Structure 1
Amino acid sequence: METLNIGKIKLTWLNGGVTHMDGGAMFGVVPKPLWSKKYAVNDKNQIELRTDPILVQKDGVKLLIDSGIGFGKMTDKQKRNYGVTEETSLDQSLKTLGLSTDDIDAVLMTHLHFDHASGLTRYEGDELVSVFKNAVIYTSSIEWEEMKHPNIRSKNTYWKENWEAVQHQVKTFTKKREIVEGISMYHTGGHSDGHSVIVLEDSGETALHMADIMPTHAHRNPLWVLAYDDYPLNSIAAKQKWQAKAAEKNAWYIFYHDAVFRALKWDENGDITVSLRRENSL
């Protein structure tokens, strides 16, 4: 498991599973000859997307950024459609660190699409129960309302199996929520109406998690947004805003989906100056 320290904040990437999604959908209107130079694609036109939660530890508090793809919750058809070749093994990842899901104090949900939220619940027999039973689950109020009342487009990604068993644990916010000192969530919209980013700051160092408005390093260009984005112009505006803030702080970018990099920094020319690669990445 890869780790990164942001001052006194320790980040550890856990194994949340892997999907393979259509490359054209993941890069929207960008022509394949352009995006395929920056991110590997298979013969089915799919790109590998990890769904790896990030364990955040500071001053004894244990947080999780998103929850992984889950285990035992998808049909064979769903696994085929979403290119799921590996499900969550979060319990094993935490056990390696001497922890369990009961030790997680809060889960920071950037949004509640199935590839981020399916790890919140699991089956015990025929009943769905909370995986992180002692945790507060944070998400924006807009995202939470759409999760419970999806529209004709979003009902394919907001599943009742992922929220009904944990609704008593959910706390929402509007514009900003500081979880602990130096770790805050900010509502952006864009990818979904309730989408949020996460900023981590300590001892003069900064990390920015752009979630699905920049799911991989290949999405650095503000105009390279997903066909899955509900509000692409909002995604573009949010990317421009937060990239400018990151440049001011010489911030790390950290990723949940990227199959190559866990974290990196860019210079003003867009060249990678330092990076943390995922073990066994291509």
Structure 2
Amino acid sequence: MSGLALEILNDGYFYLDAGAIFGVVPKAIWSKTVKDDNNAIRLATNVLYAHGDDISFLVDSGIGRNFSEKFQKIYRIEKVSDVLDHIEKHGDPDAITMIINSHLHFDHIGHNNDFKNAYTYAQAAEFREIRYKNVITRSNYSLSYSDIKRKIPINGSRKIGRYITVIKTGGHTPGHQVILVNSGSTKVMYLGDLVPSTFHLKLPYRTAIDLDPLKTVEMKKVLIRKAIREGYVCIFNHDPETPAALLHGDFENPSFESVEM
């Protein structure tokens, strides 16, 4: 396996109602960390950029930059950094041929169409969700099915090439998947919105947006155990303080050790 460099890039921040992101967790607990008059929480958009001699790809692509004034106002977007800008300055956007999306919500797919040679890899179930939107979930999908020009549907858990394995989890959305990347020297587990932040590591802690909460908890149990046992660096895509960490201890309430990437 040739060398593959792994970086965590930030595509800015946005705010979401704390009740949505903390779900069943009592306000008495989450209010200790939320200091906003509107009970909103500041969320990061951390994505994984992998590049080597023979391949370049992204895991998720952030919130992007093409949104309306109304969208900007609702989500209070702070574009302090931008994935495309970073890659234009320090890499080669044209070399990116794959964007593996955990799911297709607006804050994970914003730059997908900005990389002209990249194909979007997502679960077939997720492409169905974006094609046939319903009244409950449509506000979470900013793009239409036809907006995504280059689509590669995946059916279930599988390996993609030498470096990538996707694990279909469901839970957050019907087609949500967790992405494993093995660079040879580092093993990474990109948890998507199954575990969006270190706060959500406790087994019952889940967002109110999860469509199948029992599935979320079931898959968290499997994957947190795996991360502890096999030494995966876990990436928390919405955590503004700890984008990446190693997990230790009890899978139901693990401790974490921050990792720089």
Q: TM-score over 0.5 for the alignment?
A: yes
1:98-155 per-position Cα deviation (integer Å, ceiling 9, x unaligned): 322x2211000110011112322xxxxxxxxx31221121000000111111111111
Residues 84 and 111, structure 2, Cα contact 8 Å, conserved in 1: no
Alignment correspondent of 2:146: 164
Distance in 1, matches of 2:22 and 2:202, equals 11
Structure-2-length-normalised TM-score: 0.90
CA 1:175 to 1:183, structure 2 compared with 1: closer, same or farther past 3 Å? same
2:102 corresponds to 1:110: yes
Secondary structure at 1:16's aligned position in 2? strand
Residues 138 and 171, structure 1, Cα contact 8 Å, conserved in 2: yes
Equivalence map 1:194-273=2 (5 Å)? 194-203=175-184, 205-269=186-250, 270-273=254-257
**Count of residues in Structure 1 that have an aligned counterpart in Structure 2:** 257
Secondary structure at 2:209's aligned position in 1? coil
2:13 corresponds to 1:18: yes
Distance in 1, matches of 2:64 and 2:160, equals 24
Residues 228 and 246, structure 2, Cα contact 8 Å, conserved in 1: no
1:55-100 per-position Cα deviation (integer Å, ceiling 9, x unaligned): 1124431010111112132x22222222212276233211221322
Tell me the amino acid that sits aligned with residue 49 of structure 2.
Answer: L
2:132 corresponds to 1:149: yes
Residues 70 and 87, structure 1, Cα contact 8 Å, conserved in 2: no
Residues 191 and 237, structure 2, Cα contact 8 Å, conserved in 1: no
**Is the deviation greater in 88-97 or in 193-202?**
88-97
CA 1:114 to 1:274, structure 2 compared with 1: closer, same or farther past 3 Å? closer
Secondary structure at 2:189's aligned position in 1? strand
1:164 deviates by 1.8
Aligned match of 1:133 in 99, 116, 124? 116
Alignment correspondent of 2:66: 72
Secondary structure at 2:211's aligned position in 1? coil
1:53 deviates by 2.5
2:154 corresponds to 1:173: yes
Residues 148 and 160, structure 1, Cα contact 8 Å, conserved in 2: no
1:205 deviates by 4.2
Distance in 2, matches of 1:276 and 1:23, equals 27
Tell me the amino acid that sits aligned with residue 107 of structure 2.
Answer: D
Secondary structure at 2:24's aligned position in 1? coil
1:14 deviates by 2.4
Tell me the amino acid that sits aligned with residue 73 of structure 2.
Answer: R
1:157 deviates by 1.5
Residues 16 and 52, structure 1, Cα contact 8 Å, conserved in 2: yes
**Is the deviation greater in 205-214 or in 225-234?**
205-214
Tell me the amino acid that sits aligned with residue 62 of structure 1.
Answer: S
Residues 189 and 235, structure 2, Cα contact 8 Å, conserved in 1: yes
CA 1:34 to 1:9, structure 2 compared with 1: closer, same or farther past 3 Å? farther
Alignment correspondent of 1:192: 173
In the alignment, structure 2 segments of 5+ residues that lack a partner are none
Distance in 1, matches of 2:42 and 2:117, equals 32
CA 1:145 to 1:139, structure 2 compared with 1: closer, same or farther past 3 Å? same
Identical columns (%)? 29
Distance in 1, matches of 2:184 and 2:135, equals 45
Secondary structure at 2:243's aligned position in 1? strand
Distance in 2, matches of 1:109 and 1:158, equals 13
Distance in 2, matches of 1:30 and 1:106, equals 36
Residues 156 and 168, structure 2, Cα contact 8 Å, conserved in 1: yes
Distance in 1, matches of 2:36 and 2:178, equals 29
